[in-house]
Structure 1
């Protein structure tokens, strides 16, 4: 065996499925992660939340700040 995966088909006959070449698989995943990271960075820079103190939930963690907003 050289790392092949053996599965059976619907008739129970063995079917050999060779693994993906190592030189191709990691590069594809790295490219996907890079593209995803770039999209996430673009999304966060475009949608950066501003400091909104008029929102009722703006000071929810601090009761004194929440009371001051109301």
Structure 2
């Protein structure tokens, strides 16, 4: 025979170790996928945040109206 029993055991152990590592990586990837798929709770903006968003929206609308008027006039 070309391989002795110790060499076969060594190859078997290396193969099983790589399978164990692959299994561990698959489990960690599955846990990460579950963690990323669950939505995280979001904090509300509060009154000040809402006012800032409204002010920015109104400013952008006015800027677009002025830009449109400047183009067409």
Structure richer in strand, relative to its length: 1
Query: Rg larger in 1 or in 2?
Result: 2
TM-score with structure 1 length normalisation? 0.42
